[in-house]
């Protein structure tokens, strides 16, 4: 039986016990339907082998070899991850187009007696929903930007807003990147996986309420903010938070110097600033990092690199704040106070008119 959907809400209401992605591991790793588990019926090498035989030998031989491989791998799943599934288990299965891989696996599951359904159009149908939502449709929620220079605690304040009943869209969290040239520690998701996370987050928003988004450029590390969202961000009112350089430097020192960031990797990323700030200055920053002088390095980066660049960007785009708040410190108390102030300002904004969406 084929299953179709128009939104993630349809998937939730269908209440499948499991969503099973039978594509190869690399396809799953690049992106997958939210909540799906990976039970590949062809490995990456097996998929390549069958594809080569299909194009260079014959479709018949490819299908015969593919069927044998699918049966072998399905048996391993049945004896492994699916061994404890009860007769009432109800899975949704999909592959790339909803064709032979998912159909073959679903047929085996159905013969056992499970109430299996196949996603109509496979992953491609899901991906079309994502592209339509992010590239074709305007953002319906009223976007409000949380702005502030590097080290002002924007991300921490954003996270605190959710606990105060304010809708937020954490782009840096979705992108696994802190936004600046020094912000990417660890592996970012693929562009498609980032967009899946973004799609999920936007689908969950109440369009009648504002949503706060941290001010970002059109790129977060290696990932692109989708055009419709970036258009909404460019036109959005800005709430700016600020703090003295000393407080921001102390905050950055806690963020980057807490042991969670490798010093060698930090130093390597500083090398990207040579063309902008000169080799001598960058070497001084590197030496400071290796000596553990994070706060001094942070203060210097703020004054010589980040603040001048942010000032030029704001001047170029004509960014204006609707309101601003400052804190003397960015410790727990200072961040809580900023979050209270920003939350109150957001809630005081007029609600979006659903009839105009």
Catalytic residues, which ones? Answer: 95
Q: How far apart are CA 67 and CA 70, in angstroms?
A: 5
The contacts of residue 163 (CB under 8 Å, 6+ apart) are none
In the chain, the N- to C-terminal Cα span, in Å, equals 36
CA–CA distance from 336 to each of 37, 163, 330, 342 (Å)? 38, 11, 9, 10
Q: How far apart are CA 94 and CA 124, in angstroms?
A: 10
């Amino acid at each position: 039986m084929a299953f179709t959907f128009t939104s993630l809400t349809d998937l939730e209401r269908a209440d499948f016990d499991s969503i099973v992605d039978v594509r190869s591991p690399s396809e799953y790793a690049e992106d997958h339907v939210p909540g799906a588990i990976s039970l590949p019926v062809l490995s990456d090498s097996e998929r390549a082998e069958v594809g080569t035989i299909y194009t260079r030998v014959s479709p018949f031989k490819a299908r015969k070899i593919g069927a044998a491989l699918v049966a072998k791998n399905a048996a391993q799943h049945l004896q492994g991850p699916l061994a404890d599934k009860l007769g009432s288990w109800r899975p949704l299965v999909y592959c790339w187009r909803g064709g032979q891989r998912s159909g073959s696996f679903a047929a085996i599951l159905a013969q056992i007696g499970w109430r299996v359904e196949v996603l109509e159009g496979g992953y491609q149908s899901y991906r079309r929903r994502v592209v339509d939502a992010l590239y074709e449709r305007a953002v319906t929620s009223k976007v409000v930007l949380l702005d502030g220079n590097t080290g002002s605690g924007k991300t921490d304040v954003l996270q605190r807003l959710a606990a105060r009943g304010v809708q937020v869209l954490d782009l840096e969290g979705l992108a696994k990147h802190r936004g600046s040239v020094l912000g990417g520690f660890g592996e970012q998701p693929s562009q498609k996986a980032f967009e899946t996370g973004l799609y999920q987050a936007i689908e969950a928003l109440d369009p009648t309420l504002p949503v706060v988004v941290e001010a970002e450029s059109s790129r977060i590390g290696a990932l692109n903010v989708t055009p419709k969202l970036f258009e909404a961000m460019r036109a959005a009112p800005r709430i700016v938070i600020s703090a003295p350089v000393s407080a921001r430097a102390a905050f950055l020192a806690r963020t980057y110097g807490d042991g969670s960031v490798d010093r060698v990797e930090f130093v390597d990323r500083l090398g990207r600033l040579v063309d902008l700030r000169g080799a001598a200055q960058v070497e001084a920053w590197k030496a400071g990092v290796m000596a553990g002088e994070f706060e001094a390095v942070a203060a210097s980066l703020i004054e010589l690199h980040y603040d001048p660049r942010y000032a030029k960007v704001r001047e170029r785009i004509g960014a204006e704040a609707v309101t601003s708040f400052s804190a003397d410190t960015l410790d727990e108390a200072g961040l809580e106070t900023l979050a209270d102030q920003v939350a109150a300002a957001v809630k005081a904004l007029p609600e979006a008119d659903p009839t105009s969406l």
